[in-house]
Structure 1
Amino acid sequence: MWRGLISQSTDLDALREAMDAGPITFYTGYDPTAPSLHHGHLVQLIVMRHLQLAGHRPLALVGGATGLIGDPRQSGERTLNEADVVADWADKLRAQIERFLSFEGDNAARMVNNYEWTGDLTAIDLLRGVGKYFRLGTMIAKDTVARRLASEEGISFTEFSYQLLQANDFRELYKRYGCTLQTGGNDQWGNLVGGTELIRKSEGASVHVLATPLITKADGTKFGKSEGGAIWLNPEMLSPYAFYQFWLNSDDADIERFLKVFTFLSREEIETVVAQSKEEPWKRLGQRRLAEEVTTLVHGEEATKKVIAASEALFSGGDLSALDAQTLIDATSSLPRAEVELGVTTVIDLLADSGLEKGRGAARRTVASGGAYLNGVKVEDEEQTISESDLLPGNLVLFRKGRKNLGVGVVK
């Protein structure tokens, strides 16, 4: 509650009582609709980890079956991906999820795939065993379904039926593992409570649902887009450096809330960081701590050290040559670029070709006034060409106009 991770629940007092009475089994589902999880899934993974750290038993469900159908979106039908694509994505998601949970001890996590019990489910089984417990009026009234029905495109029977499958997942996990809690995003509320109703009607049991809020920025705008698109957790889709920079660019007004939601820092630690940030906002201490904590959580300590070193090397005079090639390539991917021909290209060429200067005449004046730098070193000779000894890992050179205007030269 203090971290702001609870938006809605079926009966919070009853859930608290059940948790206090002893470890419960809970689950969260992740559909393979892409080859990676993103920042929205990260909230669910963090909730799972909090609950496991408190002694409860996690079931992480990868939707090998529901991923073939597609959860209804607010607008537009999902593309039905091929079965082999969904299976491959399911494997990728499984590997990502496993990093956040412990699979040892009395409350070891378990990975499950709903294709196991849905793949052989016949239409008759679905209609008799699940469908008869649902009322059409309730299904139609659910927010996403209602919006889609009111739109020009409507909603297919395929996506409309998704809520039956998700409800059946909860029932199966209740019967197989004694699962009594499902967690998920607030936008999934209708699907979440569908499972509690199915279990109540078919099994005569009471189970729980806990929904997390949609995370927005302090100004109310949508949270979770980088310059390149979604905040993917897969380093091949969003580099650890770009991931780190996303969190580093958080607004001051969002820091306290994001530290509560996205990190495992204690109340005291967060209060200290927030207080220090307010005293010296220009140091961006809150943003740095947030970026470090979340990047370490997702990509590991070693990757985080590399991206911090890259940031310091690019903007604070750190050692550029000490960086590995991939980190340097990632860190400079959005900088103005120019091609380098060894022994021919000069810093003047780089400044002009990259657009940091409007022409070679302006570039010469910058060099003459001492305002041009190559790999952090002031350029004294305007005729100096780029040699092999100037190359950084990744066959790059870094040039700068003034203190903050950076560009990258790439060997042809």
Structure 2
Amino acid sequence: MHWEATKMAAPMAWGGLVLTLFGRPRSFLSVSGKVAVRIRSRCKSGRNVLQLHRRGIFKDIFPEGGDLPRLLESGPQTVYCGFDPTADSLHVGNLLALIGLLHFQRAGHRVLVLLGGATARLGDPSGRSSEREAVSANTVQENARGIQEGILGVFHNHRLCFCNDAEAANLGSLSILNNWSWYKEKEVVGFLDTVGRHFRMATMLSRHSVQSRLKSSEGMNLTEFTYQMFQAYDFYYLNQHHNCRIQLGGTDQLGNMISGYEFIHKVTGQDVFGIMVPLVTSSSGDKLGKTAGNAVWLNRNKTSPFELYQYFVRQPDSNIERYLKLFTFIPLAEIESIMDIHRNDPGKRNAQKRLAAEVTKLVHGKEGLETAKRCTRALYHSSMDALETMSDEELQELFKEAPFSENLLEPGTTVLDLCRKASAIPDGPRGYQMITDGGIWINHRQVTKPEQVLILGQHILTNGLSLLRVGKKNYHIVKWLNLAE
């Protein structure tokens, strides 16, 4: 299966090399933990190491005390991070892993994104209290397309919005692979014979993800139990075919990472490494993601730029400094300045607005950020100018629960006619009374005269739209089709 990414110069091939941005490699100088001080003293660009360490992006390294710093200093390396396409979009809970990969790419290293077209059908038990719902092969592949589109968009926006020409030229390569491309040819007995014999039951049973599920009332099925073996083999495959020695993942992936390390070391004698990014949680401590039912998605068709922007604008003060360090590329000195200004007048939420702008620009680009700002002005500041410059798509995203209708504008159409065409008021005297009682707003202006003929520029915007509000929250969008006639 082949398709093209919008705004991308390179073609994408399913199951193989998808996108490559070539550039002159630089050293990657960003790890955390006890090795940070040693790295700082040994690397040419110790400031960058300290900066990323202080950001808290990389929480832990496995194995601790290994030669990862030396490996990274020796030249460009290949790092991978995997995402199982159990939905058709990644969410904010996955964003930090993508940002970790971007920091690798910014330092000139080769980045592999692995889509689990095969492993998504098994179900990763890590961090879950119950079994995942089964997903069909066709659904998994459709989901993978959606996730790939979102990932390519993030890397594309990063290159355009957060890199100058010199930095863009030095970015490492990006490739997107699908593990279905190597599992589809595997024969079960042969796989168990060559791979399964290297895994020990006692070790597999000792993993936290396994122990927590075995103690639950639901237990764990065999398919989930073998997941760690498949993820370990993925790492091995990438190691052998792409010279990949570094895996990036959330802290809940430690057990799977250790399985990969042990398998590769047994089979090849080579040392590989795992780097863990912290899991992002809500203010209540819940892991952000679709499992918790609080997902904020990265793809626009599931969460609009406005919704993403507002999610970060509404973050409590207690999260802001940490999130600025984790989710943006703003220098630490500038973050300190932002926080100083914020503490002097927290009511203005300037720090939240900067955070929201940076994240929205990374996920949806400059146009997405402008959309979010227009929607914010239109909804919260009752801006007529913002309403008039909004597209149909933006209006429907902003008022996603609002009925949308298209109507022909006839001479003498009144406020009452508009309300009835939109099915916004009851028929008869009661609907008429709602208008005279002041319960109707058109384009953020209250109307009280049912027989008022609609005026272009007031009741009908120059983009041919009327935004009708009944009461406090019930919106209707009407598009007039024949204004130009």
- Into which bin does the TM-score normalised by the smaller protein fall? 0.7 to 0.9
How far off its partner does 1:179 sit?
0.7
Find the residue that maps to 1:99 and give its secondary structure.
Answer: helix
Q: Please state whether the residue corresponding to 2:154 is helix, strand or coil.
A: coil
1:197 aligns with 2:250: no
State the partner residue of 1:2: 54
Distance 2:474 2:123 in 1: 43
**Conservation of the 8 A alpha-carbon contact between 1:347 and 1:399:** no
Change (3 A) 1:128 1:224: closer
| CA distance 1:359–1:246, shift in 2 (3 Å) | farther
Which residue of the partner structure matches residue 237 of structure 2?
Answer: 172
- Asked if the contact 2:416–2:432 (Cα under 8 Å) also holds between the matched residues in 1, the reply is no
Equivalent residue for 2:414? 343
SS at match of 1:43: helix
Structure 1: how far apart are the matches of 2:287 and 2:182?
36
How far 1:12 sits from its partner (Å)? 5.2
Match status 1:397 vs 2:467: yes
Q: 1:121 aligns with which of 159, 182, 186?
A: 186
CA shift at 1:139, angstroms?
Answer: 0.8
Alignment of 1:12-23 (within 5 A): 13=65, 14-23=67-76
Q: Which among 65, 89, 92 is matched to residue 146 of structure 2?
A: 92
The Cα shift of 1:210 comes to 0.7
Q: Secondary structure at the match of 2:172?
A: coil
Deviates more, 1:154-163 or 1:312-321: 312-321
SS of aligned partner of 1:72: coil
Residue matched to 1:374: 442
What is the TM-score normalised by the length of structure 1?
0.86
8 A Cα contact 2:179 2:234, kept in partner: yes
Q: Deviations over 1:188-207 (max 9, x none)?
A: 11111110010111100111
Q: Do the aligned partners of residues 376 and 100 (structure 1) sit closer, same or farther apart at CA in structure 2, a change above 3 Å counting? A: closer
In 1, Cα distance between equivalents of 2:329 and 2:171? 22
Matching residue of 2:360: 295
Query: Quick one: structure 1 residues 334 and 261, their matched pair in 2 at CA, closer, same or farther if it must change by over 3 Å?
Result: farther
Identity %: 35
For the structure 1 residues 26 and 317, does the alpha-carbon distance in structure 2 shift closer, same or farther, using more than 3 Å as the test? same
**2:195 maps to 1:137:** no
Residue 69 of structure 1: which of 107, 119, 122 is its match?
A: 122
Aligned equivalent of 2:87: 34
CA distance in structure 1 between the partners assigned to 2:87 and 2:314 by the alignment? 26
Distance 2:97 2:115 in 1: 13
Name stretches of at least 5 consecutive residues in structure 2 with no aligned partner.
Answer: 1-52, 160-168, 408-412, 480-485
Q: 2:393 aligns with which of 326, 333, 337?
A: 326
- TM-aligned CA distance change 1:228 to 1:70, over 3 Å: closer
Q: Determine the C-alpha separation between the residues in 2 that align with 1:199 and 1:136.
A: 17
1:379-402: per-residue Cα shift (whole Å, max 9, x none)?
A: 4x544557374244584424487x
Name the count of aligned residue pairs.
399
**Shift in Å, 1:77:** 1.9
Q: After superposition, give the CA deviation of every residue in 1:304-355 in whole Å (9 maximum; x if it has no partner).
A: 10220121122224312121111122222367x89999635389999x969x
* Runs of 4+ off more than 6 Å: 102-106, 337-341, 346-350, 358-363
The amino acid across from 2:115 in the alignment is V
Question: Which of 199, 206, 209 does residue 271 from structure 2 map onto?
Answer: 206
Residue 50 of structure 1 corresponds to 103
CA contact (8 A) 1:347 1:382 kept: no
* Superposed displacement of residue 377, structure 1: 3.8
Matches within 5 A, 1:245-324: 245-318=310-383, 319=385, 320-324=387-391
Q: Please report how far the alpha carbon of residue 272 of structure 1 lies from its aligned counterpart in structure 2 after TM superposition.
A: 1.8
Superposition map of 1:222-233 within 5 A = 222-223=287-288, 229-233=294-298
Query: Counterparts of 1:8 and 1:158 in 2: how far apart (Å)?
Result: 28
Q: TM-score, normalised by structure 2?
A: 0.74
Q: List runs of 5+ in structure 1 lacking aligned partners.
A: none
For the residue of structure 2 that corresponds to 1:201, the secondary structure is helix
Report the 3-state secondary structure (helix = DSSP H, G, I; strand = E; otherwise coil) of the residue aligned with 1:61: strand
- Deviation of the 1:156 alpha carbon: 1.1
**Aligned equivalents of 2:351, 2:257: Cα separation in 1:** 35
Out of 189-198 and 322-331, give the one that drifted further.
Answer: 322-331
Q: Provide closer, same or farther for how the CA distance between residues 328 and 186 of structure 1 changes in structure 2, counting only shifts above 3 A.
A: same
> Which segment drifts farther, 381-390 or 212-221?
381-390
State the secondary structure of the residue aligned to 2:97. helix
Which of 159, 163, 181 pairs up with 2:228? Answer: 163
